[in-house]
Amino acid sequence: MQVRKLEVRDAYELIPPTFPDQRGVYCAPFQAAALTGVLGYAPGFVQVSHAVSRRGAVRGPHYADVPPGQAKYVFCTQGALLDLVIDVRVGSPTFGTCASVRLDSTSYHAVYLAEGLAHAVVALEPGSTLTYLTSTGYNPAVEHGINPLDPDLGLPLPDDMELILSEKDRSAPSLAQALADGRLPRYEDCLARYRGLLATGRTPDPLTGG
């Protein structure tokens, strides 16, 4: 599996080999050894989520408080998605930067984003299916969003389709509002989280994320 650093620090694109034959195609979109080689510790995921979207559906950007935060490993199992990783960590050298990757069910590329980063996807085809692994379970009390239409955020959203947003995402604050309200993760807290995982070389506790 090939690994490519994205423009956002602590985010990576992972490119698995595919093996087509007369029956179809085989690949392994998630390979723990490849991710361990990049992170320096064994990744720990406690939940697999699955979302099927209409063409033009936008999900996110979403992020979680750090600690513990929520790392994600994302790939597309049907159709095609525009995957967006946004650095919302206050103090990060790449704060405000967005990295975009096309994920589809032909190449099976994947994206890993560390705790503290925000994530969004746009469905490019009908029935596009997002599958993602997370290092902590869903906890609405510590999860937040940014308005994907925020002009200052400047996400590279497609302009050739009608975008479909949930009311929750449409009413989410702008990046500037979230920053002013103190809702964004601090880069120093994220670095401490990464150092802790690296020092122990272990996966997070499945119940606490610690």
Catalytic residues: 62, 132
- How many angstroms separate the CA atoms of 116 and 69, rounded? 6
Residue type at 140 in one-letter notation = P
| DSSP code for 185 | P
Which of 5, 40, 33 shows the shortest CA–CA distance to 196? 40
- How many angstroms separate the CA atoms of 145 and 191, rounded? 21
How buried is residue 99: exposed, middle or buried, by Cβ count under 10 Å (0-12/13-18/19+)? Answer: buried
CB 132 within 8 A of CB 48: yes
CB 40 within 8 A of CB 29: no
- How many angstroms separate the CA atoms of 10 and 38, rounded? 10
- How many angstroms separate the CA atoms of 185 and 63, rounded? 9
